[in-house]
Homo-oligomer: A and B are copies of this chain.
Amino acid sequence: MIRKLIEEPHSIWTEGEGQYSEIVLSSRVRLARNLAQFPFPLMQTEASANAVLERLDKVFANSKELKLYRMSEIPELERQALVEKHLISPEHVQKPENKGIIVNREGSISIMVNEEDHLRIQCFASGLELETLLAQADKIDDEIEKEVNYAYDEQYGYLTCCPTNLGTGMRVSVMMHLPGLVLTNQAGVIFSQLSKLGIAVRGLFGEGTDAHGNLFQISNQITLGQDEKEIIENISSVAKKLVSQEQAARNYLLNNAGPQVEDKARRAYGILTNAKLISSQEALGLISDLRLGKALGVINELDLKTINELYLLCQPGYLQVLAKGHLDPQARDIKRAEIIKEKLAKF
């Protein structure tokens, strides 16, 4: 099942569906949980880490939907592809020993085992869909809790390895495409205001990564002192505000620099359908131009889903999964150019 999930050329965040899908690629709700009777991952021995994996394997043994895999059974390139599909964090693949992933067939649920906490329950949806995701994550959380005792404190709530996750243990994030705010030079100011409001803005692969392709992840920094619903409402309203600011910026661009915006999108199409070599960073920028052109109606040949899938296709790990082996950087740039061309040749 996981091999199929790794190999298929799409992910929840590439579907191009759900609310505000022209701007919001996907939503995620993540709950951090720890089992009371085991040492926290920071203090784990190999034996205690394994015990956690075995305990959870038992919990999901009879599940028809969710299945546990040990990270060590997944080849390196495929682990990298799981990061690129946003199913696990980059940290989760760096030391795969005694780590696990529990996923469903669709990749809409992914639980990391022995990452920073014993459990990181993640639910994903295309577009802005936080309320639905919260209900879904709560349900999984309740089902797990029937079988295990969570580390929980009456005063602090759910106990986590890092104090920034204490309380609800919940982090909510929304992945947005904001080329309008970047092109009109508003992104910097808006993001620094958000930061003062306890909202983190990160790049495509979370903490410490660049916002290539004008993709940004918006998430709550505070997990304590607000209940789940408040956090959801807060992030949801911030996301909606960003959607309207981005929409205004796009309209401004269309009205004041229509030919330039069309030119940018058309050139991106021309380069992506012709280049012989292309780096991941350049490709992400061009896909962003294409996506903006599609949203503004100056590129009509492509659908949103295809454009979103290009973001995934050009990632180094996924690329090497397709190539069925390691590629040196130039070979990657050639392969990337080939598969992008192949994908776009259908139009």
Interface residues of A (CB under 8 A from B): 259-260, 262-263, 266-267, 269-277, 330, 334, 337
In the assembled complex, the CB of A263 is this many whole angstroms from the nearest CB of chain B, namely 4
Q: Is the CB of B275 within 8 A of A266?
A: yes
**Selected contact of A260 from candidates B262, B269, B277, CB within 8 Å:** B277
**Selected contact of A263 from candidates B270, B272, B273, B275, CB within 8 Å:** B275
Q: Is the CB of B275 within 8 A of A270?
A: yes
Q: Is the CB of A262 within 8 A of B274?
A: no
Copies of this chain in its oligomeric complex = 2
Chain B contacts for A270, CB-based, 8 A: 267, 269-275
Chain B contacts for A267, CB-based, 8 A: 270-271, 274-276
Chain B contacts for A259, CB-based, 8 A: 276-277, 330, 334
Chain B contacts for A266, CB-based, 8 A: 274-276
Additional pairs, 7, CB under 8 Å, beyond known A259-B277, A267-B276, A270-B270: A262-B276, A263-B276, A263-B277, A266-B274, A267-B271, A267-B274, A270-B273
In the assembled complex, the CB of A275 is this many whole angstroms from the nearest CB of chain B, namely 5
In the assembled complex, the CB of A81 is this many whole angstroms from the nearest CB of chain B, namely 25
Q: Which residue of B lies closest to A264 (CB)?
A: B276
Determine the distance from Cα of A276 to Cα of B274 in the docked complex, in whole angstroms. 17
Q: Which residue of B lies closest to A262 (CB)?
A: B276
12 contacts between A and B (CB under 8 A): A259-B277, A259-B334, A260-B277, A262-B276, A263-B276, A263-B277, A263-B337, A266-B275, A269-B270, A270-B270, A270-B273, A271-B271
Determine the distance from Cα of A267 to Cα of B272 in the docked complex, in whole angstroms. 8
Q: Which residue of B lies closest to A330 (CB)?
A: B259
Q: Which residue of B lies closest to A263 (CB)?
A: B276
Q: Which residue of B lies closest to A258 (CB)?
A: B276
In the assembled complex, the CB of A282 is this many whole angstroms from the nearest CB of chain B, namely 11
Determine the distance from Cα of A266 to Cα of B269 in the docked complex, in whole angstroms. 13
Most buried by B among A262, A263, A334: A263
